[in-house]
Amino acid sequence: MQRYFIETAIENARISGEDARHIERVMRMKQGDNIVVVAQNTAYICTIEGFEGDEVVIEATGQTIPSPELPIQVTVACGLPKGDKLELITQKATELGMFALLPFEAERSIVKWDKKKGAKKQERLQKIAKEAAEQAHRTHIPTVFEPISFKQLVQQIDHFDAVFIADEEDAKAEKRTRFAEKLKNVYDMKSKSMLIIFGPEGGISRQESEALLQAGAQTMSLGPRILRAETAPLYALSAISYEFE
């Protein structure tokens, strides 16, 4: 069944805006059809009661669908990459269970965030996250934050139970601590939140790596191969999903 998110409680809820138009004009649904409506992180099976103006009137059947969310909230922090890579990361990481996306201005970021166009860019990324969450049948839409400075990123570390950084120098080392082993420790400690940090195309600089490690982060080894900026977050999320799910 088609899935839609609403921001209100399920009682007396209505679907409006683009989603309402999608239901009526694209899906061509009618009164009596069932859809899945996600309200307050719970997926409800609902029946379409009718159409009033630009709104779709729905009623909950009393049936809910189990949540498919990861048992740990994983926030992805990535140095601003070039081109449309941030859009790719947003879409695919949402499908893989990301809780939130936190872009930051890394030392090696070639792209600079345009403050004038930033609001529209952020709005587009949030829309991509919403559509990906619907497609993946999730009950949570990841929040896409406005990019922050590296200094602000360091200050965020204390807000998470576990923090890992992807450092390509770790991939070059002869002896590496497997990410799976570190994830087992996180699992055993029953951590609720995790921050995984990735650099832009040039990777994390030595100064940034040292500052993050001093603040309490630890490195994660994603294997002996050097991954692209848009590939590494997806690799890590897959590993987390394998370990926790």
pLDDT tens per residue across all 245 residues of the chain: 899 999 999 998 999 999 999 999 999 999 999 999 999 999 999 999 999 999 999 999 999 999 999 999 999 999 999 999 999 999 999 999 999 999 999 999 998 888 777 889 999 999 999 999 999 999 999 999 999 999 999 999 999 999 999 987 766 666 667 888 889 889 888 889 999 999 999 899 999 999 999 999 999 988 888 899 999 999 999 999 999 99
* DSSP code for 104: E
User: What pLDDT sits at residue 226?
Assistant: 86
User: What pLDDT sits at residue 176?
Assistant: 67
Angle separating helix axes 85-95 and 232-244, nearest 10 degrees: 10
User: What pLDDT sits at residue 172?
Assistant: 63
What are the percentages of helix, strand and coil residues in the chain, rounded to 5?
35, 25, 35
Task: Write out the CATH class of domain 73-244.
Answer: alpha beta
Nearest to 43 by CA among 58, 64, 71, 62: 64
Architecture of the domain defined by 3-65:
Beta Barrel (2.40)
Tokens of 30: 């009618």
User: What pLDDT sits at residue 170?
Assistant: 66
Distance of CA 181 to the CA centre of its chain: 23
Query: Alpha-carbon dihedral of residues 167, 169, 171, 174, nearest 10 degrees?
Result: -140
CB 233 within 8 A of CB 139: no
CB 130 within 8 A of CB 5: yes
CATH 3.40.1280.10 domain locations along the chain: 73-244
Tokens of 103: 């872009």
Q: How far apart are CA 61 and CA 46, in angstroms?
A: 5
Q: How far apart are CA 232 and CA 204, in angstroms?
A: 12
User: What pLDDT sits at residue 112?
Assistant: 84
CATH 2.40.240.20 domain locations along the chain: 3-65
User: What pLDDT sits at residue 60?
Assistant: 96
User: What pLDDT sits at residue 224?
Assistant: 83
